[in-house]
Amino acid sequence: MTHIKLTSVLLLLALALSIPSFGQSSANKGTNKGFAVLELFTSEGCSSCPPADDLMGKIQNEYKNKHVYVLSYHVDYWDNLGWKDIFSKADYTKRQYEYTKWLKKEPIYTPQLIINGKVDYIGSQETNVRGGIVKALSKPAEVNLDFSVQKGKDGLVVYYKVYGNSRSTRLVVALVQKSVKRKVKRGENEGKLLSHYQIVRNLIFQKIAIDEKGTLNVYFPKNFDSRNGEIIGFIQDSNTGAILGATRSGF
């Protein structure tokens, strides 16, 4: 009788150990993956920006199934110089100014590309940018982030789970429109048909704690094509700007 009970206990223990929990599996998986978050600050009014935009499209296409996440922020400080960029927001200019504090580099400029919140490049300099991506991918993520997304008529509900974390971090969630072509009628790019990639249309910040899970509502802006979108999220240190982990989800 004692032998039967002992055997049953050992069998149950073996089964329990063979089935990893969601959190353990994701955390172990995440810490083994390098990643690169590319944040481009660009504008339709800037004549040196189209080559950087085109490079982001090329990189997005090459790395679309890898852990490379492209975000293009259209800043608003070009809007008074002959052409209003319909994708521009003061919030994106504010984010670029945040990086002057974190990177200790001034002044701001376009096209500026920042990788993992740690280093910046001129966004059109392909060799340097590609080198930065390779370097970023060689370092494992410090935090793992999981997403699931529920689509509604006016937006999305994002369910997130953070595995491992440090203090002073926040979750940054970007609603992205993957590609758009636009004819510019005035300004430095007058007469050009510009291609844009991975345009940030909505940006949300949420302070988070260690091993936190929760939900966020992300609303679609006017004229957003939800068939041509995705969600990119990442964990960022609010003190240093360093990005610690990232993920994406379609919808």
CATH of the domain at 243: 2.60.40.10
| Residue whose tokens read 């009788």 | 1
Residue 129 inside a domain? The answer is yes
Q: How many domains does the chain have?
A: 1
| Residue whose tokens read 């800043």 | 75
Per-residue model confidence as pLDDT tens digits over 150-195: 998 899 999 999 998 777 899 999 999 999 999 999 999 999 999 9
CB-neighbour burial class of residue 55 (10 A; exposed 0-12, middle 13-18, buried 19+): buried
Answer yes or no: are the C-beta atoms of 172 and 37 closer than 8 Å: no
Residue 6 inside a domain? The answer is no
Report helix, strand or coil for 58. Answer: helix
pTM for this entry: 0.87
- What is the extent of the structural domain holding 150? 23-249
Residue 13 inside a domain? The answer is no
Q: Which of 204, 250, 206 is nearest to 229 (CA)?
A: 250
Q: Which of 83, 90, 64 is nearest to 198 (CA)?
A: 64
Those residues with Cβ within 8 angstroms of residue 125's Cβ, 6 or more apart along the chain or in another chain? none
Residue 98 inside a domain? The answer is yes
Distance CA 64, CA 21 (A): 28
The amino acid at 161: K
Residue 43 inside a domain? The answer is yes
Residue 8 inside a domain? The answer is no
| pLDDT at residue 32 in the model | 56
Arithmetic mean of pLDDT, 87-91: 98
